A and B are shown apart, each in its own frame.
Chain A
């Protein structure tokens, strides 16, 4: 119990820094808050994976989560669209708000939530269907297109925005699994865009890709920022530095530090952040 309190205490002390930073950032970004997380704790059975995290995500910004393996960054990300619901033993407490609405409210429809908060996974996971069907899957589910021509438009615009249209426009009926790894991942991004979410969560989207495919995805993230709020988990600190506006450093289930990306990498406030980004551990 006392241990628990202690941890809460450390987090709060770290938060004091954060709040200052966030205030300064909010002032410059002048964007409304999209996601608010307060005192989020996640348990796998008796194991606590996340020890009370407070964090805000602003509209149309890219936030990167970094940290060593097992630090809880992916777990926390999966809380944001309740993907952890699919794991039986997983339990989430605390409060996460999307546009001032608590997403863990029992009256909230998780299907609606996931349409609003899309997700791109670590390994490209196109359905074993045609490229067209892969994109059309979500819009069909949510009834976004009345006519076939509407659906065609959604498919085309999604593929265009994911920068894949020119590569696949002549083979929309071929299986999505036949594309290269980088193309598959962009297909998955296009699939997510097709349901017009507001937030896109990316769980190490480039970890299975080669450097060229990675750089294409990174450029894509930069463009998507215009229309979407993006939260990205990455193992690669250079990637976080390249694509994100703000970076959050997680360690052992705690949020150690969050701040403007260039500031966090050049001038970390916390000793543990500094140790991690300079390669002392992780």
Chain B
């Protein structure tokens, strides 16, 4: 039976066990009128259901983890001795051919007789493995069900057992989330270390030229992998974005929090938050088609040379994108400033705007800084807008009207196309990714620390 069928069967068993447990607990309750049942019937039902299903499910998981290896080992032993004596890689290739045969995928070239025999053996092993698993699971499920079914008694603390299982499930889920993060970081670190075996870290972190020659172009040397032009492009665009977003976002936040009537605030705030929900690729072509040419024309009338795809274009559009991050968070923070402080200031004869400037904003400042840092880390990690609108020219320049490139864009460039994943040209993407990750992580940590410190102030 396939795993899916087995899981469906388990669910059916679970439902039945639940009913059985409920019915049984009610019966036990009527038999023992003196002693009150510890838990409610649902808990006994759930306890029986969990006993019936969980052990069997673990068997299913473990079996699926171990069985392929065991089968492969058995098949390998059955192979002719001259094949077995080959080196490990050749054996692995052979086993893969056999597995493909057994799965009826077919293989390259004619299958040898011994290969067909091994494939048949493998099929047979897989079949019996499935049967054994089904039998084992059925037995364990039945045992668990019976065991817990007859354990139902007034003093049995089913409620606590169910509670423990709930807690365990939650712990497992959060562990998965954390392990995934750690896994991503580890994989990036290993690939980055591989990259640093080609290129010296100092050349990477302090190099001022970015020119990774692709091996497909026939170049013999590896090219130069200087991070600085990319980092400066990233920072320039992020700074432009913040220059656009901070004043606008903050004004919006102040208006919404202090001046707007509640009705307007409740309508406008979600509308502004829609800005954060627009796919960034849409912003990208908005920048490319509308904002870029507009800025370029504007530059002409002012006598400036502004390229249509430039740091400025990408920065302005990205600034629009992150407005809601700043406005929404700052609005929440400004609203949290206690009314007592406002009253204190107004009571001394300050006007509303004086109160906001001199009391409310300073009090909310740490939180606002936190909001800005979160927006900044968003801006630094943003890709699609920059891919389309920044011009993709990895040059070290201080002129925002020129085309630049960023870390994220370069990662896209290095990983798209026909690549050899063992070459520094591809591996550099991981080094860049890790650098970016560390920068945004630091910004996030700083932001969180600031926001938390701010919270303590009023609690």
Contacts and interface: CB of A to CB of B under 8 A. Distances in A.
A128 interface: yes
21 contacts: A81-B347, A83-B346, A86-B342, A88-B261, A114-B346, A114-B348, A114-B349, A118-B347, A121-B347, A127-B362, A128-B362, A128-B363, A137-B348, A137-B350, A137-B359, A141-B348, A141-B354, A141-B358, A142-B349, A191-B344, A192-B348
A118 B362 CA distance: 23
A111 B363 contact: no
A98 interface: no
A118 B340 contact: no
A256 interface: no
Contacts of A81: 347
A138 B261 CA distance: 28
Given A127-B359, A141-B354, A119 B457 contact: no
The 7 residue pairs across chains A and B that have the minimum distance between CB atoms: A115-B349, A125-B340, A119-B347, A114-B349, A138-B348, A125-B344, A111-B349
Interface in B336-382: 338, 340-351, 354, 358-359, 362-363
A118 B350 CA distance: 11
Nearest to A115: B349
Identify the interface centre among B343, B349, B351, B358: most chain A CB within 10 Å of its CB: B349
Contacts of A126: 344
Contacts of A115: 348-349
Identify the interface centre among B340, B344, B358: most chain A CB within 10 Å of its CB: B344
Interface residues of B, number: 20
A128 B457 contact: yes
B26 to A, nearest CB: 51
Contacts of B261: 88
A177 to B, nearest CB: 7
Contacts of B457: 128, 177
Given A86-B342, A86-B343, A114-B347, 16 more contacts: A83-B346, A86-B346, A88-B261, A114-B349, A119-B347, A121-B340, A125-B338, A125-B344, A126-B344, A127-B341, A137-B345, A137-B348, A137-B359, A141-B349, A141-B358, A192-B348
Nearest to B261: A88
Contact of A129 (B343, B349, B362): B362
A191 B347 CA distance: 10
B348 A125 contact: no
A165 to B, nearest CB: 20
A133 to B, nearest CB: 9
Contacts of A111: 349-351
Interface in A135-167: 137-138, 141-142
Interface in A73-130: 81, 83, 86, 88, 111-115, 118-119, 121, 123, 125-129
Interface in B313-345: 338, 340-345
A215 B127 CA distance: 89
A237 B105 CA distance: 93
Contacts of B340: 121, 123, 125
Nearest to B352: A86
A127 B349 contact: no
B348 A118 contact: yes
B343 A125 contact: yes
Interface of B: 261, 338, 340-351, 354, 358-359, 362-363, 457
A162 to B, nearest CB: 14
A264 interface: no
Contact of B349 (A121, A177, A188, A195): A195
A204 B90 CA distance: 88
A138 B349 contact: yes
A95 to B, nearest CB: 22
Interface of A: 81, 83, 86, 88, 111-115, 118-119, 121, 123, 125-129, 137-138, 141-142, 177, 188, 191-192, 195
A113 B350 CA distance: 11
A127 B344 contact: yes
A130 to B, nearest CB: 11
Identify the interface centre among B343, B346, B347: most chain A CB within 10 Å of its CB: B347
Contacts of A128: 341, 362-363, 457
Contacts of B359: 127, 137
A188 B346 contact: no
A86 B349 CA distance: 13
A243 B128 CA distance: 95
Contacts of B343: 83, 86, 119, 121, 125
A115 B359 CA distance: 17
A137 B358 contact: yes
Contacts of A137: 345, 348, 350, 358-359
Contacts of A125: 338, 340-341, 343-344
Contacts of A121: 340, 343-344, 347
Contacts of B346: 83, 86, 114
Contacts of A114: 346-349
B348 A191 contact: yes
Contacts of A138: 348-350
Identify the interface centre among B345, B346, B348, B457: most chain A CB within 10 Å of its CB: B348
Nearest to A175: B457
Contacts of B344: 121, 125-127, 188, 191
A121 B345 CA distance: 11
Contacts of A191: 344, 348
Contacts of B351: 111
Contacts of A141: 348-350, 354, 358
Contacts of A195: 348-349
B459 to A, nearest CB: 12
A128 B457 CA distance: 9
Contacts of B338: 125
A127 B363 contact: yes
Contact of A112 (B342, B349, B350): B349
A133 B358 CA distance: 11
A126 B341 CA distance: 7
A127 B345 CA distance: 8
A16 B381 CA distance: 76
Contacts of A123: 340
A203 to B, nearest CB: 9
Contacts of B350: 111, 137-138, 141
